[in-house]
Amino acid sequence: MGPQNQIILDDDVLEAVKQRAEAEGKTLDQATNDVVRLGLSEARWQRVLKRGRDYQREMMGAVSDEEAIQVAVDAVHESRAERRGR
């Protein structure tokens, strides 16, 4: 466990996390970490889905094989640049 941290949750959110912790037999800290990780993971998935929809739209707009290849190459470069930026 890391250093002591403090966050302030809305009362309804805290109650929901407490209920989840109790239902899953976890501590409040464990349940809070699980919920935050889940939220972060969901945000990443939403970015991946959006990128896929954007890519599909670009591919549908390509009028030649060369344009389609360029769209794919650009998508790969964009993905690699994003990974390097982490």
Over its length of 86 residues, how does the chain's per-residue pLDDT go in tens digits? 567 888 899 999 999 999 999 999 999 999 999 999 999 899 888 888 888 898 888 888 888 999 989 988 988 888 888 888 86
Q: What is the pTM of this model?
A: 0.56
The neighbour count for residue 35, using CB atoms within 10 Å, is 16
Q: DSSP letter at 85?
A: T
The CA distances from residue 31 to 22, 27, 66, 72, 77, in Å, are 9, 6, 50, 40, 37
- How far is Cα 36 from Cα 40, in angstroms, rounded to an integer? 6
